[in-house]
Amino acid sequence: MSFAALGLREPLIRALERAGITAPFPIQADTLPDTLAGRDVLGRGKTGSGKTLAFSIPMVARLSGDLAGQRRPNRPLGLILAPTRELATQIAAALEPMTAAYSMRVTTVFGGVSQHRQVQALKSGVDIVVACPGRLEDLMRQGLVSLDAVEITVIDEADHMADLGFLPGVTRILAATPAGGQRLLFSATLDNGVDKLVKRFLPKAVLHSVDEAHSPVAAMTHHVFETEGAAAKRDLVYKLASGTGRRILFLRTKHQARKLAKQLTAAGIPAVDLHGNLSQAARDRNLAAFAAGDSKVLVATDVAARGVHVDGVELVVHVDPPAEHKAYLHRSGRTARAGTAGDVVTVVLPDQRKDLAVLMRKAAITVRPQQVTADSPAVTTLVGAIAPLVTAPPASTAKPAKSRRTRNNSESVAAYHTSDVGSTRGSSRRAPAGTDTRRGSDRSRSRVGAARSAEGVDTRRVSEGAGARRGSADARLRYTSDGAGVRRDAEGAGSRRAAKGAEGRRAAEGAGAHRVSGGGDGRRGLEGGGHRRGGSAEAGRDRRAGGGNAGVPQGRSGGARGAHGSGSAGAAGRKRREGGGGHAAAPAGSTGGLAEFSRNGGGSRRRRG
């Protein structure tokens, strides 16, 4: 039967032909007479059977014909609900060639992206909205979209919406549409609450069922490959991924999907990942790379098990067997779509054999497991020609541009890291007797500072317990990367490093440590139990061999030590060598007194002047 015989008008038939669609699939031929007549329809069919066009064709045909009306802002005429962003995007792409024939407008509405573009599209007026329930409800609550003019409502993958817990939202959305409008619902099963939705909103729907629910596709060949252990499984997965055609590898966790995609790419097999942790822009980018053939391997979690349709997927690999049989069929349905052939491989370890047997029995699939390795004839025959390995481009050796913060801070950060004053990491270096222990020459500052700036490194070290603490205990660190290095910021009472010119300042409140490196004055002060460290050209140039520095912890010298608290006003830190002793500035709360620390025979005493 042809589309013309089903009653489609010529412009729509030509649009379908330009898209490569010349004849209807069984579910389309079954449902189109009722959907074109305006009846409510409940469609059930196996995955890959052509359900998207079964509701897209009548929506465009009716909204461009007998239901055609003036486009109004924020009041669409057609609404399609989909459970995932990927499915919504693909439905909109399927509608595009048909809506273009009648100059109709389509927009998508889903979360994970800014709502601004979606709001602007609705304001300009659209004919059809393809939406996920969550974001659509948000816009409804904000008064940015009204469904009172909707003539046709479609619920796609209703059973998957039930699995995701979307049915309460779907119920509220359907209740906001006119009761007399046409409603089409497509679902693999009517369980898990879908039947209640049907009874309330589609009580007189005509049921069209093509094949049994969850039936396997005839053109799909199933294989079960059993391996001895994890190492053999890894080699087998690499071999299965190395063919020339498109293939999708399914794993259970987002972490493992991301990890495997990186490992395959590093091994010369370009792969992209698809999972829930990716932003919408990253999802779209990876799917586009897979569809264009830039990457022949898509490593995914079950987020791609429904609705992601890329032509020419020849192999689906269940690297991790799914938890239940419906997930197995939906994963497998990414291949052998629309009448094409495809293979499905499930990789199992010995301890997974029994669980897989139960799953296959529920899916009505009979397959005999095979004990294989990566070099087994069955694997080699299935994979076919091996794609040439792609060498990953070498990492760029060009130094990234410095951010303003890094440029200004390079000298002071270098001075801090190259000084011989002990660090909170517990390591300290002593200079030979008689050497100048200032915090590094201008030359060493600029050299180390440039190196650290080029690497984008801005390190902060926190030592708790006996060591000095840099940064307060309630510091909350935030990382941002702008392609030119890494900036680290601190909020609240956290530690902050700022620099202007050749000055570097490290500040902390509470139990933190405050360090100042500057032109001619260096101070060490105690603030609320912490200490202030300072190194300058005037203070801290003497280090005596064998004498040590009293009051300078961690083997550090090169800065006067003193107590300089919140009440201290300009108490200059000075250091004086007298038999190995040193001077310290006034203790916290004082305004200029001196406290002397001296070491005599290993002991120390303190005198308040």
- Residue carrying structure tokens 């006003």: 569
Element (H, E) at 405: helix 404-418
Q: Is the pLDDT of residue 121 over 70?
A: yes
| pLDDT in the model for residue 608 | 42
Task: Identify the bridge partners of residue 597 per DSSP, sorted by sequence position.
Answer: 582, 606
DSSP letters along 80-146, please? EE-SSHHHHHHHHHHHHHHHHTTT--EEEE-SSS-SHHHHHHHHH--SEEEE-HHHHHHHHHTTS--
Exposed/middle/buried for residue 180 (C-beta within 10 Å: 0-12, 13-18, 19+): exposed
CA 498 from chain center: how many Å? 31
Helix (H) or strand (E) holding 241: helix 230-241
CA distance 39 to 32: 10
What CATH number does the domain located at 220-383 have?
Answer: 3.40.50.300
Q: State CA 134 to chain mean position distance.
A: 19
Confidence of residue 326 (pLDDT cuts 50, 70, 90): confident
Domain at 3-209: CATH code: 3.40.50.300
**Which of 90-104, 397-411, 462-476, 535-549 has maximum average pLDDT?**
90-104
What amino acid is encoded at 296 in this protein? K
Token couple for 467: 């060591």
Give the model confidence (pLDDT) of 522-572 as tens digits: 334 333 344 434 343 333 444 443 444 444 444 443 333 333 433 333 333
Q: DSSP per residue over 300-346, as a string?
A: E-GGGSSS---TTEEEEEESS--SSHHHHHHHHTTSS-TT--EEEEE
Closest CA to 581 of 563, 561, 565: 561
Most confident of 162-166, 393-397, 447-451: 162-166
Question: What gap in Å lies between CA 286 and CA 24, rounded to an integer?
Answer: 31
As a whole-number percent, the residues of the chain with pLDDT over 90 amount to: 45
Please list the residues that pair with 478 across neighbouring strands: 489
**Between these two residues, 158 and 544, which has the higher pLDDT value?**
158
How far is it, in rounded angstroms, from Cα 232 to Cα 346? 14
Give counts: helices (H), strands (E), the chain: 17, 23
Sheet with strand 595-600: strands edge to edge: 582-584, 595-600, 603-608
394-406: pLDDT as tens digits: 444 344 444 444 4
Assign 219 a pLDDT band (cuts: 50, 70, 90).
confident
DSSP state of 350: G
The H or E element spanning position 271 is strand 271-274
The mean pLDDT value for 237-251 works out to 95
Query: Helix, strand or coil for residue 75?
Result: strand
Segment 276-291 shows an average pLDDT of: 89
pLDDT at 302: 85
Place of tokens 């190259």: 418
Q: Where in the chain is the domain with CATH 3.40.50.300?
A: 3-209, 220-383
The pTM is what? 0.56
Give the model's pLDDT for residue 191: 73
pLDDT tens digits, residue range 32-58? Answer: 999 999 999 999 876 667 889 999 999
| Cα gap 192→190, rounded to integer Å | 7
Q: How far apart are CA 12 and CA 8, in angstroms?
A: 7
